[in-house]
Structure 1
Amino acid sequence: MLGSGSTLLGVRRIAGIVLAVLLIGGVVAAVVAGREDQDKRTATKTVQGVIGSEKAEFFADPDVVKALAAKGFTVKTETSGSWAMDGLDLKGYDFAFPSSQAPADELAAKFHVRQPLPRPFYSPLVVVAHRSAAEVLAANGLATVGKGTGTLKMAAYLKAAAQDRTWQQLKGAAAHGELTGTLFIASTDPNTSNSGALYLAAASYVADGGRVASSAAAVGRTAPLMHKLVSVQGAQQSSTDAAFRDFISGAGNPLVLVYESQVAALLNQGQDVGDLTVLYPDTTANSDHTVVPLTPEGRALGELLSSDPTLRRLAVKHGFRPQGATGEFTAATAAHATYLNQKLTGVRQAPVPAYKVLHEMARRAGN
């Protein structure tokens, strides 16, 4: 009986050990499975894209990185002039993100990308000026000026440009030693930069009596004036980022063409803008930031940027106007209404010529 009891006790001990091992194994398996599930939930797809430089700070913002990761995306970007993207080798990229629809449509045609293309946000072109320059323009009928914002009268400005007017010829300029030389708006190179090309689009539209250039003949009608607008500047910046930084630092031309988003982003950061005056051309062009998806992941990213409330809010933080509802931008920039024409009152949007027409306009303006 003792031998039988010992055997039974031994069997029970072995069974206990086996059960403990199984229990421990189950716990380990559950932990591993839980970690795998968590990894799956937090795993991100890495997408690679080329973007206009004015969006670099948006994609580098830690809050944007976090919001994208929460939706399963890690985004890696390189910058390029929007009009130079057509010449890039985009093999291996998931998306291109130029700053307007014309180069985006050209890229879409080249890579056989289906329409519609996601257009998450936009920004109108504006002219930043120091207070002295804005007041001289207003005194000579070229602008109307309020406290921190105003309107540039494009027809009057283009007439002055056609006549090679100088600051010295303008009433009131003599009191400001920095206002000398030919009157002009500093813009970026229209052959490579979106803002420079859109400047010509708006200027040619006004100069040609409110007609959108659609042919070589139409380009020819305004070519001499477009050439004058560009050639008077000498060397041009390749990006609005550099031009805007120079202006804020006190260097450069008294009048500089930039994106409204750059001004709004600076104001949102609470930075001192000194005697900044923001002039909205009464006829301007919108920079429609348009995603060209080269892979399904690229399209998913573009649609996410358009629809996700957090990413739309962060776009406004960086000065962009989300497509669709205008209330998001108006509410977020309420404290800066002194400088921003939030509802774009009195501002007409010039239609932008087709890519090839605008490209030819830029080429002739630079020759």
Structure 2
Amino acid sequence: MPEDSRPSTEEPRLTTSRPARRRTRHPRHIIAATPLALAGLLALLVSGNSLRPFERITTIDGKMASKSDYFKDPEVQRLLLKHGIRVDIHRLGSRGIATQSLRGMDVVFPSGQPAAKLIMQRQQRSVRTARPFVTPLVLGTFRDYAKTLEAAGVARPQRAAGGGETLYYDLDMKKFLNLIEGRKTWNGIDFAEHSNRSNAGRVLVRTSSVCESNAAGTYLSILAFVENDNQAPGTERDRHKPAGSGGGAASDPVLDVAQQVKPLINLQGMAADEQADSYFSDEGESIAPVSLIYEHQFLKHQVDHQKKRGKQDSRRVLLYPSPHALTEPELISLGEQGDRLTELMESDAALRRRAIELGFRVRFSGEDGTSEQLNAYLREHEVQVPTPNPDQTKADAPDLDALERIINYVGSCPPAGQGDDEDDEGDE
């Protein structure tokens, strides 16, 4: 075969391919967490808290009584942090706040007006104050005891919507005190007929310490008012009574009343909020059949019970005393830092709303009354709304001097720690 007719063969070619690009692998848990992190960042941006760790937080020191539970509330603390404020609470009874040193404090928050007046009398400058809410003084009891008082003609049930079991009773204090003064026992007024148990104990109200607590001092005012023929002791009328007209040789009408009311309460060495803790505990009925508490504590308990269990706590009920007493906590500023907090408490709508959710009757300056928004909140959470007693007699408190004398006599209180006033002046 001729050379030029042979098939030609090509040199084999070596082909190379580019190495595959290695993909970066991320751990699955990082991929899964990314949307959550983005959602969290978005929430912070929307709420305005994204820069909170970098902002300066002002700590405000305050001596507070039972209404310190408002500032202990996590939601209130969150709302205050949005304004760069944290409140450091030094817990003390209202009267203790009024009589002890206030050195180093920015604010004080006694639970009622008598203590607030004592505090303001000690200040060397005009102070800024706020009264953000009010709450009635009430007696917490249990249904069998309330039914016993109803059968005795001492308590009257408020009507519940739909005709169900009521949470609230109106209590005639004059008739109730007659039971206490007569040393009646629960069995003696037929408690066993309304319960499968018996109780040979005396009919008494368990209170917190009158030497420390606003609640106990306010209750003393009710007792003194009733025992003094619906007149606050120490008034002009008392000063013109003949010597010994209060029931003895004593010529001091205030001391006469103090002697009358001392046997009417069962004093305990605890603060008002601790009293409520005992009442709402599982052993509350064994501790005391009737306890002195504030309305807001009961209402919050009922809302929480409804949220957790889908029903009201029908075992516990309230007695609204008549004559009644409304306590007015007052936030008192002692300096510039305190001014920030008092101003905020008056102006911030979210803080007012949270007070309603905690059971307080919040002060409003518009068309809404103190109770309307609270009532709406209770209805929203299917909790019975208390109705005003037709008898709206209010127990007038004695003047400060008379009340202090009654408290000291009934509680055998130690001397007030007023010797620290000079220390306070340097901080005001």
Q: Please report the TM-score for the alignment, with normalisation by the length of structure 2.
A: 0.70
Pick the aligned partner of 1:192 from 186, 203, 212. 212
The residue number in structure 1 matching 2:346 is 306
2:70 counterpart of 1:50: no
2:141 counterpart of 1:129: yes
Q: Is the 8 A contact 1:149 1:338 kept in 2?
A: no
Report the CA distance shift for 1:43/1:245 in structure 2 as closer, same or farther (over 3 A): same
The residue number in structure 1 matching 2:313 is 273
Q: Is the 8 A contact 1:121 1:288 kept in 2?
A: yes
Q: Is the 8 A contact 2:375 2:385 kept in 1?
A: no
The residue number in structure 1 matching 2:233 is 213
Q: How far apart are residue 220 of structure 1 and its match?
A: 2.5
- C-alpha separation in 1, matches of 2:377 and 2:125: 34
- C-alpha separation in 1, matches of 2:335 and 2:198: 51
Q: Is the 8 A contact 1:330 1:342 kept in 2?
A: no
Q: How far apart are residue 260 of structure 1 and its match?
A: 0.4
- C-alpha separation in 2, matches of 1:116 and 1:210: 34
Report the CA distance shift for 1:46/1:225 in structure 2 as closer, same or farther (over 3 A): same
Q: How far apart are residue 338 of structure 1 and its match?
A: 5.7
Q: Is the 8 A contact 2:144 2:194 kept in 1?
A: no
The residue number in structure 1 matching 2:361 is 321
2:280 counterpart of 1:245: no
> Size of the alignment, in residue pairs?
326
Report the CA distance shift for 1:42/1:137 in structure 2 as closer, same or farther (over 3 A): same
The residue number in structure 1 matching 2:294 is 259
- C-alpha separation in 2, matches of 1:96 and 1:134: 37
The residue number in structure 2 matching 1:11 is none
Q: Is the 8 A contact 1:264 1:340 kept in 2?
A: no
Report the CA distance shift for 1:292/1:316 in structure 2 as closer, same or farther (over 3 A): same
Amino acid at match of 1:280: Y
1:50 aligns to what SS in structure 2?
Answer: strand
> Which moved further from structure 2: 168-177 or 125-134?
168-177
The residue number in structure 2 matching 1:296 is 336
Pick the aligned partner of 2:261 from 226, 238, 262. 226
- C-alpha separation in 1, matches of 2:353 and 2:387: 16
**C-alpha offsets along residues 239-288 of structure 1, whole Å, 9 cap, x if unaligned?**
22222222222331111110001101112223563411111112121121
Structure 1 unmatched runs, 5+: 1-37
Q: How far apart are residue 347 of structure 1 and its match?
A: 4.3
Structure 2 unmatched runs, 5+: 1-50, 159-165, 240-251, 307-311, 413-428
2:174 counterpart of 1:155: yes
The residue number in structure 1 matching 2:36 is none
Amino acid at match of 2:206: A
The residue number in structure 1 matching 2:401 is 356
Report the CA distance shift for 1:344/1:47 in structure 2 as closer, same or farther (over 3 A): farther
Q: Is the 8 A contact 2:109 2:330 kept in 1?
A: yes
Report the CA distance shift for 1:109/1:148 in structure 2 as closer, same or farther (over 3 A): same
- C-alpha separation in 2, matches of 1:190 and 1:321: 25
Report the CA distance shift for 1:345/1:265 in structure 2 as closer, same or farther (over 3 A): farther
- C-alpha separation in 2, matches of 1:98 and 1:76: 15
**C-alpha offsets along residues 59-83 of structure 1, whole Å, 9 cap, x if unaligned?**
1222211211222322111110001
Amino acid at match of 1:266: H
> Which moved further from structure 2: 339-348 or 295-304?
339-348
- C-alpha separation in 1, matches of 2:348 and 2:79: 9
- C-alpha separation in 2, matches of 1:294 and 1:74: 16
Q: How far apart are residue 352 of structure 1 and its match?
A: 2.1
Q: How far apart are residue 128 of structure 1 and its match?
A: 1.1
2:293 aligns to what SS in structure 1?
Answer: strand
Report the CA distance shift for 1:211/1:116 in structure 2 as closer, same or farther (over 3 A): farther
Amino acid at match of 1:341: P
- C-alpha separation in 1, matches of 2:390 and 2:130: 26
Pick the aligned partner of 1:82 from 81, 90, 94. 94
Report the CA distance shift for 1:174/1:40 in structure 2 as closer, same or farther (over 3 A): closer
Identity of aligned residues (%): 25
- C-alpha separation in 1, matches of 2:399 and 2:54: 44
2:103 counterpart of 1:91: yes
- C-alpha separation in 1, matches of 2:125 and 2:322: 35
- C-alpha separation in 2, matches of 1:252 and 1:50: 29
> Which moved further from structure 2: 301-310 or 170-179?
170-179
Amino acid at match of 2:375: T
2:178 counterpart of 1:165: no
RMSD: 2.4
Report the CA distance shift for 1:138/1:366 in structure 2 as closer, same or farther (over 3 A): same
- C-alpha separation in 1, matches of 2:156 and 2:358: 27
Q: How far apart are residue 221 of structure 1 and its match?
A: 3.4
